Amino acid sequence: MELQGIAEHIKQRELELLQTNWRANPALINDWLSADFEEIGNDGKISQRVDVVNWLLNKDNAIRWSLTDFRIKALTDGLIVAVYFAKKCNDPSSTSKGSIRTSIWQHQGNHWKMVFHQATKRLET
């Protein structure tokens, strides 16, 4: 798969991670997140895979997200970094300007799996 195709695939996976009801089939999370996955949240807290899985299973599935300025860069063969802006679209209680997101994806077996993710609050207007 060429880089543009990989970018579209990874963007779709990022969006689905945020918007899928994982309670319906929690075992699928294993196809998306690497066993050694970790995350740095927009509060600076480092979360292990188990914490992120718990969030995915209990998040508000009605929230929709927009991903803009999405781009990827190949780090090595089978390892890419994705960078984009994320913002909640339909959460009237949110005053957030969104966040800058960075994810590292690795091709493992037949799947692209996220091995690392970081969110940074977007401060500009």
Backbone φ and ψ of 6, nearest 5°: -65, -40
The string of pLDDT tens digits covering residues 35-93 is 999 999 988 999 999 999 999 999 988 889 999 999 999 999 999 999 999 998 876 66
Residues 6+ apart with CB under 8 A from 44: none
Q: How many CB atoms lie within 10 A of CB 23?
A: 11
Q: How many CB atoms lie within 10 A of CB 112?
A: 22
Task: Give this prediction's pTM.
Answer: 0.89
DSSP code at position 18:
H
Catalogue all structural domains in the chain, each as residue range(s) with its CATH number.
3-121 (3.10.450.50)
Instruction: Say yes or no to pLDDT of 94 above 80.
Output: no
Specify the pLDDT at position 123.
74
Instruction: Say yes or no to pLDDT of 19 above 80.
Output: yes
Of the listed ranges 45-54, 61-70, 97-106, 116-125, the one predicted with least confidence? 116-125
Average pLDDT value for the chain: 90
Determine how β-strand 111-121 pairs with β-strand 99-108.
antiparallel
